[in-house]
Structure 1
Amino acid sequence: MIAFINGNIITMNNNKIAQAFIVENNVFTYVGSNDEILKIIKDANEIVDLKGKTVIPGINDSHMHFLNYAVTKNNVNIYNVDSIETMISKTKEYIVENNPHKNDWIISRGWNENLFIEKKLPTRYDLDKISCEYPIFFSRVCGHIGVANSKALELTGINSNTPNTEGGIVDKENGIPTGILRENALNLIFNILPPMKKDTIKTLLKNSFEDLLKVGITSIQTEDVTHSRALEPLICAYRELEQENALPVRVNLQLALPDEKSINEATYMNLKTGIGNDKFKIGPIKLFLDGSLGGRTAAMKEEYCDVHSNGVLIYSSHQLNKITLAAYNAGFQIAAHAIGDNAIEQILNSYENIYKLNSKSKLRNIVIHCQFTNNKLIKKFKEIGAIASVQPCFVMSDYTIVKKAVGNARAKDSYAWNDMLKNDIHVAFSSDAPIESFNPFEGIYAAVTRKDITGNPKEGWYKKQCISVYDALKCFTLGSAYASFEENIKGSIENGKLADFVVISDNILKISPDKIKDITVLATYVGGEKKFSVS
């Protein structure tokens, strides 16, 4: 028994603020006032004085790509580079410092042409300036566009005769590939790369877990299959880490299984949603329905304002319905990436078809991102009980390009979290890391202020969609727990729930909203065990 006293404890249990709690056998067994706790802690093994600090439930990031974060952390860093020339010079330095083997691929992710001085996509010719000896492939920050150098194109057999793939585009100029690949065309590269080895995955993950704990994240819902490029070594890596007591956060693994064949393979491995325990379990199947706003590949009902395109819809409705039904019949929850209104409508229709087959099914199917909604779509979310897994940090990086891309009318209906909450839609918050930082206090700040990290725009971007601090915190705790069917064991500080909690530097409910992004974590506990501390 460990007693924690003298705290400002935001329980997320019906707005209750407590002063103290007791942890026994990894769960909260009593939550209340100092006086109440002091009467019953005679047998406590330890008493921790919180000294008035604020305590919140452990943060649960409902969608990220943690293995991709771990991989990117150890590769050349091309996030936030200000020009193509800078990207070239940084990669040259990386090659000199790391001296990779002759046939090793140089792979990374994070460039964003909107930050470039050149204001254009990089091409094979830019990457050839780095090297024509090493195959090089860099994904855009969104992960839906990539660029390969000439060596990489040669190894993958991409040439003038290569057609567009189904749901993907091979950019060409005068019939010659530029090296730019969009959506499913990225698989022309990924399909020839060898799967990651189990021990490599374990090493990368172990080197990165503390980064989560430092910002108060105790649970993640992560899609890692895309980056491991094989299901079995990934599952084995996580299970071994859990058995070795080397898994300091709770993991709900989302599986990118794009077709019926891959779903059947997962079924053959006895996988379905919910298999596992409170430390590691199998989550939903992850589907990609469209692309990104920045790449203008998000699937829109109407054309973009600045390019003659409606984006890329990866599946036909017939194909999608077959896959979602196969997933449902195999016992999988479904989480679908959908940014544009066309893609969101398509997946909601597909979910509705399943709901009609079995209206009593507790589907809890998820739409990830949901950036371009409207009143009709929000109404359908509510009718079929779909969950919106959204990333408030996207506002910080996207607000400067939304109007240019889709115009004022559609911009006003975008990133509409307040409308979702007012319509009683289940909303879970996440980061989509490494696309954005997984620091949840930056995410809460973005949801509450609708400003970027520098405080712009000063009045907030479409302030009517700002939400309260309490609601933002709820979306990062109880909202995410609901998305993984775990609201009865995590997401709030109350009797019987897992003792996952975070001690933070400031009272998040009292400080200025503009200062929320600067909150730091003093200690992070998982199952009542201190996993991180600044002291």
Structure 2
Amino acid sequence: MIQRYLIIGLAIVLVTACSTKKDANLIVHNAAVYTADSLFTHAQAFAVKDGKFVAVGTSERILNAYRSDSIVDLKGQPVYPGFYDPHAHFLGLGQVLNQADLVGTKSFDEVVQRLKTFSEKHPTNLWVIGRGWDQNDWPDKRFPTKEKLDAAFPTIPVCLTRVDGHAVLINSKAMRLAGLSKGAKIPGGEIVLANNEPTGVLVDNAMGLVRRVIPQPDAKDKERMLLAAQNVCLSLGLTTVSDAGLNRNDIELVDQLQKANKLKIRDYVMISLGEPNLDYYLKRGPFQTDRLTVRAFKLYADGALGSRGACLRKPYTDRPETAGFLLLNPTELKRVLTLLEASQFQANTHCIGDSANHLILDLYGSLLKNRNARRWRIEHAQVVSPDDFWKFNRYSVIPSVQPTHATSDMYWAADRLGTTRVKGAYAFRDLMKQNGLIAFGSDFPVEAPNPLYGFHAAVARVDAQGYPAGGFQMENAVDRVSALKAMTSWAAYANFEDHLRGSIEAGKQADFVVLQQDIMKIPAAQLRDVKVVQTWVGGEKLFQR
């Protein structure tokens, strides 16, 4: 009889325990969870309901407190908050997927051969478009010229964008369509000449001469591009990407596709500078949806170091007749920044050279005065003078950098800058120390979109082959905890999204990624080869390897 009562009592306890469990849409357990919260807490499990984390803790605690029809046992695999890319060109990635890929070419002859192969597979009577060449990777490091393009494509216009997006090479057919004049002077740009004749290379603002005559994709084309870019990014663990400079029509297209549930990846958009955009968005004000944040304007102070358009305080070491140039004059930059200071918009300014960084930090300071909550950013912060680092702290300026720029440029950066000035370049640790945070992006498609390449570059400061031995300027390497935060919680803060996501915490959106190996523990040499197993956005699995 006693035994019978014990059995009944145990049954009652089990029924009661089950009935007190809370419902969840998803339970993940038996995992190595890196929450990236303020304490960098480790956990084993979490529960998700209605697209948000509702509890995080040990497997025992979560399984005892929650029930779900979807329970995932990860068998010890590592889990991280969904990776961020706070400075990229998401639509641009979709565009280059349909263009000739010139990344990694070892000579201009290889560029021409790739174009021929591409045009055979994609015959056209319109334009041949490519991107990714870098003369710094070739035996002859001078800018290429148009003659070999003319021979290969005498009747079809060709436009080839340099890897950094700050120079193009065009052939004679494209020059005629653009109405290019050798005597034209372009403020903030350069028509490169040889023997007083255009070579076909256009730098920075001069690129507009040809881009205005290239046929543009329509909304349907752009939809295909965005969806193709989404597939790439999700396969790499990216759950929030960015578009560093879009016009109103493209912003509204992204919003429409997200609301139609076609575009499920989240997008942080910086509005392209221009009077129509300023007029419209300053009146409307910032806005944020479940998947879209629009509260920043993208400004350009200067160009790129690789094409010598970066604005330096002293001339280039390898071309002493120039110090680069500004893309907007200081008066115009101050006018726009004054408008933004009077609004609730964030100012995100592209600054590569030490002169551009110096100018913008001082302009920010004149408007922001002291420490503040505006989260204004300098994008790239690539070359900073020793006497300017402190201004990031004084004015609460967020450095938004791209670690792979360091490992792409390290082969020739000292040639451009000299051995002393280069020490203030790609100074991620020094920048991080100013405010105790930094944001890591990739600037894709300038660089590869894989966030683990940036993680590797930040902590190891070497390229894919492990060069150089011992790392490049290792005094500015970043520890792994900081590197992970820079691509999750700190990046979310830089995007005004830290209350929504960026860490695995109760109440935040359930964006997370599962990797094959633990990037916090494996040897640095293995980091670039780690594969994504699953990518989840809002508790929905969008990628499975």
TM range (shorter): over 0.9
Q: What is the aligned partner in structure 1 of residue 278 from structure 2?
A: 263
Distance 1:192 1:332 in 2: 32
Where do residues 274-313 of structure 1 align in structure 2 (5 Å cutoff)?
Answer: 275-308=287-320, 309-313=322-326
Q: What is the aligned partner in structure 1 of residue 217 from structure 2?
A: 196
Deviations 1:185-234 (CA, angstroms, capped at 9, x unpaired)? 11111233354311111011112211111111000121253xxxxx3431
Where do residues 441-460 of structure 1 align in structure 2 (5 Å cutoff)?
Answer: 441-460=452-471
Mark the runs of 5 or more structure 1 residues left unpaired by the alignment: 226-230
Deviation at 1:362, TM superposition (A): 3.0
Deviation at 1:21, TM superposition (A): 0.5
| Amino acid in the other structure paired with 1:346 | L
1:220 to 241, 244, 253: 241
- CA change 1:255–1:29 in 2 (3 A) is same
1:16 to 28, 36, 41: 41
1:235 to 251, 256, 259: 251
| Amino acid in the other structure paired with 1:46 | S
Where 1:393 maps in the other structure, the secondary structure is helix
Where do residues 411-450 of structure 1 align in structure 2 (5 Å cutoff)?
Answer: 411-450=422-461
Q: What is the aligned partner in structure 2 of residue 471 from structure 1?
A: 482
2:262 to 228, 246, 264: 246
- CA change 1:119–1:420 in 2 (3 A) is closer
2:50 to 25, 34, 38: 25
Where 1:208 maps in the other structure, the secondary structure is helix
Q: What is the aligned partner in structure 1 of residue 201 from structure 2?
A: 180
Where 1:400 maps in the other structure, the secondary structure is coil
Where do residues 478-517 of structure 1 align in structure 2 (5 Å cutoff)?
Answer: 478-517=489-528
Q: TM-score, normalised by structure 1?
A: 0.94
Q: What is the aligned partner in structure 2 of residue 84 from structure 1?
A: 108
Q: Is the 8 A contact 1:386 1:425 kept in 2?
A: no
Deviations 1:315-363 (CA, angstroms, capped at 9, x unpaired)? 222121011122333542111110111000111112112214xx68632
| Amino acid in the other structure paired with 2:236 | V
Q: What is the aligned partner in structure 2 of residue 532 from structure 1?
A: 543
Where 2:416 maps in the other structure, the secondary structure is helix
Q: Is the 8 A contact 1:88 1:129 kept in 2?
A: no
- CA change 1:262–1:188 in 2 (3 A) is farther
| Amino acid in the other structure paired with 1:32 | G
Distance 2:221 2:209 in 1: 23
Q: Is the 8 A contact 2:371 2:393 kept in 1?
A: no
Deviation at 1:476, TM superposition (A): 0.3
Q: What is the aligned partner in structure 2 of residue 152 from structure 1?
A: 174
1:109 to 117, 120, 131: 131
1:35 to 39, 55, 60: 60
Mark the runs of 5 or more structure 2 residues left unpaired by the alignment: 1-23
2:160 to 126, 138, 143: 138
| Amino acid in the other structure paired with 2:174 | A
Instruction: Give yes or no for the alignment of 1:338 onto 2:383.
Output: no
Where 2:483 maps in the other structure, the secondary structure is helix
Distance 1:437 1:394 in 2: 10
Distance 1:111 1:224 in 2: 22
The two structures, once aligned, show a CA RMSD in angstroms of 1.6
Aligned length: 519
Q: Is the 8 A contact 1:66 1:224 kept in 2?
A: no
Instruction: Give yes or no for the alignment of 1:209 onto 2:230.
Output: yes
Distance 2:499 2:301 in 1: 31
Distance 1:89 1:289 in 2: 35
Q: Is the 8 A contact 2:245 2:297 kept in 1?
A: no
**Higher deviation after alignment, 210-219 or 361-370:** 361-370
2:330 to 317, 320, 334: 317
Q: Is the 8 A contact 1:68 1:224 kept in 2?
A: no
2:146 to 119, 124, 136: 124
Where 1:253 maps in the other structure, the secondary structure is strand
Q: What is the aligned partner in structure 2 of residue 46 from structure 1?
A: 70
| Amino acid in the other structure paired with 1:78 | L
Deviation at 1:365, TM superposition (A): 0.8
| Amino acid in the other structure paired with 1:212 | C
Distance 1:524 1:134 in 2: 42
| Amino acid in the other structure paired with 1:521 | V
Q: What is the aligned partner in structure 1 of residue 421 from structure 2?
A: 410
**Higher deviation after alignment, 329-338 or 404-413:** 329-338
Deviation at 1:26, TM superposition (A): 0.4
Instruction: Give yes or no for the alignment of 1:347 onto 2:360.
Output: yes
Distance 2:189 2:49 in 1: 53
Deviations 1:428-460 (CA, angstroms, capped at 9, x unpaired)? 000000111111111111110111111011111
Distance 2:510 2:455 in 1: 22
Distance 2:50 2:492 in 1: 21
Deviations 1:11-61 (CA, angstroms, capped at 9, x unpaired)? 1121211011000010100000112112112x3222110110100000010
Distance 2:252 2:493 in 1: 26
Q: What is the aligned partner in structure 2 of residue 228 from structure 1?
A: none
Deviation at 1:267, TM superposition (A): 4.2
**Bigger CA radius of gyration:** 2
Q: Is the 8 A contact 1:339 1:370 kept in 2?
A: yes
- CA change 1:186–1:343 in 2 (3 A) is same
Deviations 1:145-166 (CA, angstroms, capped at 9, x unpaired)? 11111111111111233x2211
| Amino acid in the other structure paired with 2:73 | D
Q: Is the 8 A contact 1:218 1:526 kept in 2?
A: yes
Where 2:100 maps in the other structure, the secondary structure is coil
Distance 1:495 1:445 in 2: 29
| Amino acid in the other structure paired with 1:38 | L
Distance 2:372 2:473 in 1: 37
